[in-house]
Amino acid sequence: MQIFKNDCYLKAAFRKKVNKTPIWIMRQSGRYLPEYQNIKKKAGDFLSLCLNVELASQATLLPINLFSLDAAILFSDILIVPYAMGMNLTFLNDFGPCFLNPIKSRFDMEKLIVPHPEEHMNYVLKIIKIVCHEISYKIPLIGFSGSPWTLACYMIEGNAKKNFSKIKKMLYENPKDLHFLLKKLTDSVILYLNAQINAGVSAIVIFDTWGGILNRKKYKKFSLFYIQKIIKQLSLIKNEYKIPVTVFTKNANAWLKDIVSSGCDVIALDWSVDIQKALKKVGKYVALQGNMDPHVLYAEENYIQKETDLILSRFGFREGHIFSLGHGILPDTDPKKVKFLVDSVHQLSQKYHQKIY
């Protein structure tokens, strides 16, 4: 593990001894923060913010300056990869990401390039370097990408607001073309994540948000297979330090043992999973991340504290837990509740790390 002033996130990812349970949160820099809204306003829109090195760096640093989080995460979006491949990406208010030229044929797939990160996504690498300089080994910086399957869902559907009928139709009618796209995405993600590691990130997350729309057989063939290929080809040793990899597949409770086979170090759980049962299934193989329901942050502080301690107690007196929400922070969450959660995790978790040794 690299040497950081606060290295409990990395230690927990490798199931090493820590003095408190670390916490970071998906979308920890987002619409719930007034300061983020000001940064986004300067950029003009979300995509412009992702492409703006200075402002995206500020967005990355914002939550770790506001809260005692144990890791920063690169401010970007998973759809930067298909955007760099040649897809026409836009973000619509109150609707989310859309591709104006969704993939309809093999010809559309063949037009896509496998982007070279230093050329086509250099702004991301610049953001990483700026943030690493600013945090100066105080806490680790997490890099990330979407999984090939999840990226393909957006690219074929055009958005994620439907029933995924287009990509499922392709899966059953023309699986060879779908595999062609997934292979091209896999090659792109491998290059992209290795470039992030070279630029300075100390951990990787692969977001497989839509893996859970598949049954187990199709999940293993169309999603997990490509995640395995990515992890195998990542440069996970840097300056003699190992880079931990987290895999997050939403609605994949029944496939946790399958996900272990990906070679990941951490499995992130959505809020529908009983963390104690997950621990019994896979806890001797990987660390676990999660998994409070984001809606709990609407509650009063005493309820948030009870739910926090419940999750910590369900995991118990063991190492290998990274506290997080079971998905991203909701846009209308009170930032004070986020601070309360972070502080509560640090305070309440200490007792679970004092009686092990």
In a domain, 340, yes or no: yes
Q: What is the mean pLDDT of residues 287-293?
A: 96
Q: Tens digit of pLDDT for each residue in 308-338?
A: 999 999 999 999 999 999 999 999 999 999 9
- Which residues sit opposite 268 in a β-bridge? 248, 289
DSSP secondary structure code for residue 50 in this structure: H
pLDDT value of residue 188: 98
**What is the distance between the alpha carbons of residues 249 and 198, in angstroms, rounded to a whole number?**
26
Q: What is the mean pLDDT of residues 195-208?
A: 97
Tokens 């990515």, located at residue: 230
Q: Tens digit of pLDDT for each residue in 69-86?
A: 999 999 999 999 999 999
**pTM reported for the whole predicted model:** 0.96
Q: What is the mean pLDDT of residues 218-246?
A: 94
Which of helix, strand or coil describes residue 41?
A: helix
> What residues make up the domain containing 168?
8-353
DSSP secondary structure code for residue 221 in this structure: I
In a domain, 1, yes or no: no
Beta carbons of 279 and 258 less than 8 angstroms apart: no
Q: Tens digit of pLDDT for each residue in 21-71?
A: 999 999 999 999 999 999 999 999 999 999 999 999 999 999 999 999 999
In a domain, 218, yes or no: yes
Number of folded domains that form the chain:
1
- Concatenating the DSSP letter of every residue in 103-121 gives --SHHHHHH-----HHHHS
289: domain CATH number is: 3.20.20.210
In a domain, 2, yes or no: no
**What is the distance between the alpha carbons of residues 354 and 7, in angstroms, rounded to a whole number?**
17
Phi, psi (rounded to 5 degrees) for 200: 140, -5
Angle at 13 between CA 2 and CA 36, to 5 degrees: 85
**What is the distance between the alpha carbons of residues 244 and 197, in angstroms, rounded to a whole number?**
11
pLDDT value of residue 356: 47
**Is 283 labeled as ligand-binding?**
no
Q: Tens digit of pLDDT for each residue in 246-285?
A: 999 999 888 999 999 999 999 999 999 999 999 999 999 9
Q: What is the mean pLDDT of residues 195-219?
A: 96
In a domain, 3, yes or no: no
**What is the distance between the alpha carbons of residues 267 and 282, in angstroms, rounded to a whole number?**
9
**Is 30 labeled as ligand-binding?**
yes
Strands 287-289 and 321-322: parallel
Q: Tens digit of pLDDT for each residue in 112-166?
A: 999 999 999 999 999 999 999 999 989 999 999 999 999 999 999 998 777 899 9
Angle at 345 between CA 340 and CA 347, to 5 degrees: 90
Residues contacting 54, CB < 8 A, separation 6+: 130
In a domain, 321, yes or no: yes
Q: What is the mean pLDDT of residues 181-198?
A: 98
Least confident of 11-25, 89-103, 189-203, 214-228: 89-103
pLDDT value of residue 2: 64
pLDDT value of residue 60: 98
**Is 216 labeled as ligand-binding?**
no
Residue type, 315: F
Instruction: Locate 141 and state its tokens.
Output: 């910086």
What confidence category does residue 1 fall into, taking pLDDT thresholds of 50, 70 and 90? Answer: low
pLDDT value of residue 94: 67
Residue of 307, 350, 352 whose CA lies nearest to 325: 307
DSSP secondary structure code for residue 224 in this structure: I
Structure-derived torsion over alpha carbons of residues 31, 32, 35, 36, reported in degrees to the nearest 10: -20
**Is 209 labeled as ligand-binding?**
yes
pLDDT value of residue 237: 87
In a domain, 12, yes or no: yes
Q: Is 357 a residue whose pLDDT tops 50?
A: no
Q: Is 97 a residue whose pLDDT tops 90?
A: no
**Is 27 labeled as ligand-binding?**
yes
